[in-house]
Structure 1
């Protein structure tokens, strides 16, 4: 039987998740200059998330977990102060814009030019996020998989 997590879906990162991220950052720093850059990007993204209002932070934390689990080849970093995820060419594929950043009605998940979401002559690149749910998580998994394909 798997160990129980010390969080619920809306609580944000569990203690176990926070510890795992710190361990991963230490591993990256130990890899040298390139690894240190990735670790710094991860820490910057986590710091950006930590500064958000509670509602935005809970969404951003779930987005972070979903994106990094779905596309581990993407590197977390910040982009205009927002948590973002870049490909091997250091081009942003997807970013999370919290509602508090520009006093918006909702947070958004925004895909950039490096994302492979092209579908004819018109396709969405920004998705509103108001509440986390299994349906939202599944949609994000599908979008991120397509974006990095």
Structure 2
């Protein structure tokens, strides 16, 4: 049998589900909105700091790109991945290669992102490097995704 069991989920997928359950069940501390946002930002940055090799560098650059382009997005962890929400719904996320034993870091958008263009548009990117031109393209997509 492959690395998935009878449930159909791989060990990595099960771990992500458990991380999401822990995120949802985390005790709600009495904090102001600003304190909650600051804690979420710290949690997200700690997650990025836990990435390895170039994924760590790429995720840090993506974090800077996202937060400077769309400061209205709320940082959070989503299935154990750095994510950015708009009105409580995850708009985009960063998945390190190690998460699901992939060859590359993934930057993705969820359906709340306003990227619709005709009948076909991008929703995720495999990233192994990020030059200025590519960063500009992603910056434009983040801006479009939030309606700027």
Instruction: Show structure 1 runs of 5+ residues with no match.
Output: 1-31
2:104 paired residue number? 106
Aligned residue runs from structure 1 range 1-149, under 5 A: 33-87=32-86, 89-149=87-147
TM-score of the two chains, using structure 1 as the length reference: 0.75
Look at both structures and tell me which one has the larger radius of gyration over its CA atoms.
2
CA RMSD of the aligned region, Å?
1.1
Q: Distance in 1 between matches of 2:59 and 2:141?
A: 16
- Alpha-carbon distance between aligned partners in 2 of 1:52 and 1:100, rounded to the nearest angstrom: 8
> SS in structure 2 opposite 1:96?
strand
Count of residue pairs the alignment pairs up: 117
Q: Normalized against structure 2, the TM-score is what? A: 0.75
1:133 CA drift (Å): 1.2
1:6-56 Cα offsets, whole Å, 9 max, x none, are xxxxxxxxxxxxxxxxxxxxxxxxxx6111111111011001101110211
How far the C-alpha of 1:72 sits from its partner, in A, is 0.6
Structure 2 alignment gaps of length 5 or more: 1-30
Q: CA deviation at 1:77?
A: 1.1
How far apart, CA to CA, are the structure 2 residues paired with 1:60 and 1:34?
A: 25
